[in-house]
Each structure stands twice: as C-alpha cells, then as structure tokens.
A and B are shown apart, each in its own frame.
Chain A
Amino acid sequence: SQQGEEDPQALSIQEGENATMNCSYKTSINNLQWYRQNSGRGLVHLILIRSNEREKHSGRLRVTLDTSKKSSSLLITASRAADTASYFCATVQNSGGSNYKLTFGKGTLLTVNP
C-alpha cells in the first residue's frame, strides 16, 4: 500500500524559480526521505529528515517535516533545467524488531523550462 502521497503530481516552472513539492503520509514514521529519479534511471537519495527534526537543508534543497500533520515539503530554490526529474518522498517505518521498510509515494514530475 502507498504510504506517501505527493502533491502536485506534476509541476512546470521556469528556470530560476523555486519549486515546492508536498508529501502526506498515514502512519507514524522513523524518518522521511526524498529521492530524485531521472527518466528510466534508478533513484538518487537527496535528503533524510528524522521524525524529531522539523527542517533540514542541503545545498539548494530545504525539507520540512510536520509530524502532527503527517506531512513534509521539499523546496528546490533557484531551479535549473537539470533539476527536471521525478521526485519521490518515502517514509521509513519499523515493521517489527530490527526490520525497517521504505514506502514510496507516486512522485511529482518536475519540469524546469530554460
């Protein structure tokens, strides 16, 4: 079953603008991660935010987490054409003992126009 749901499903912006993607999830989490996927390729890990953290930065990326609302957002500032990709949020839950599993949403397709 899908845990995370990204919003919007697709986003088209101009180079230099900021892009914001949102993610909502249903159950308690250990941490939440954002990944990027270029068409037909594997996923690349971007950033991880733990359940006791509220905000995290990495370069042009800013992630927030609101556990009371079960939601997260990914902000990409000063976007570039090379940022064009699908972005997925994924939540990590403990599935018993030392077992952890990562559950993905359906992703946001970001298009940055030159």
Chain B
Amino acid sequence: DGGITQSPKYLFRKEGQNVTLSCEQNLNHDAMYWYRQDPGQGLRLIYYSQIVNDFQKGDIAEGYSVSREKKESFPLTVTSAQKNPTAFYLCASRSGAGYGYTFGSGTRLTVV
C-alpha cells in the first residue's frame, strides 16, 4: 500500500540534544512538507520541499533543519536551538497543486 511512514511514533529528547524525525513516502510525490501541531492548535508549516535537493522555510523554521537527498525521504532535525520542541510533528506529501495532501501518522516529541 502506498503512503507516508513517520518514525518513531514517540520520541524523547534531552535538553541540548539534536534529534531527527524520519518521513518516507512511496507515493512518488514530488512535494513534501513538515508541520508542527501544538495542543488545541492548527498546523504550522516548518519546511517544505517541491523537488529533490531543494527546500524552503515555512512560517516557523527557526531551530529546525531538513534535507531532501531522495524523492522518497524528507527527514526533519530538531536542533538544540529550538527552545520549545515538545509538539506533535506531521509530515505530508502531495502530487500536484490541485490535489489533496497525504499525511503520515505523526511523531510526538517530548523534551525530558
């Protein structure tokens, strides 16, 4: 079955650590996106990538980094510069501007 896989489902980070969230899709979609969701809030865009080896900052990119070396993969690194990283992180992809987005099941990151 085609879809988006996010891993891990739960992640715990110590203060000062960098952590990387995985997002893999087998839908052959060009564009991929990372969103952050805080309790009771909507989704805010962190980074997005329209094609391999290219990505743009979203609305809240500070403290995050991404790479897009393969079409299938768009990992997100939460760096120690992100002061409040505890949140639910969602990865999405789409095939074209006129199509809906497919979301992964999310990674819940907690700082301990």
Taking a contact as CB atoms under 8 Å apart, the answer to whether B98 and A31 are in contact is: yes
The total of interchain contacts (Cβ-Cβ below 8 angstroms) comes to 71
Is there a chain B Cβ closer than 8 Å to A59's Cβ?
no
Taking a contact as CB atoms under 8 Å apart, the answer to whether B50 and A42 are in contact is: no
Number of chain A residues whose Cβ lies closer than 8 Å to a Cβ of chain B: 30
Taking a contact as CB atoms under 8 Å apart, the answer to whether B43 and A45 are in contact is: no
Task: Find chain A residues with CB under 8 A from B92 CB.
Answer: 43, 102
Taking a contact as CB atoms under 8 Å apart, the answer to whether B102 and A104 are in contact is: no
Number of chain B residues whose Cβ lies closer than 8 Å to a Cβ of chain A: 30
Taking a contact as CB atoms under 8 Å apart, the answer to whether B42 and A106 are in contact is: yes
CA distance A31 to B61 in the complex (A): 24
Nearest-neighbor residue (CB-CB) of A105 within chain B:
B42
Task: Find chain A residues with CB under 8 A from B88 CB.
Answer: 40
> Would you list which residues of chain B between 94 and 112 have a CB under 8 Å from chain A?
94, 97-106, 108
Q: A42-B103, A44-B103 are in contact. List 6 more A-B contacts (CB 8 A).
A: A1-B59, A30-B98, A35-B101, A35-B103, A101-B33, A106-B41
What are 13 residue pairs bridging A and B, where the CB atoms are less than 8 Å apart in the complex? A31-B98, A42-B104, A43-B43, A43-B103, A44-B103, A90-B101, A95-B56, A99-B56, A100-B50, A101-B48, A102-B33, A104-B35, A106-B41
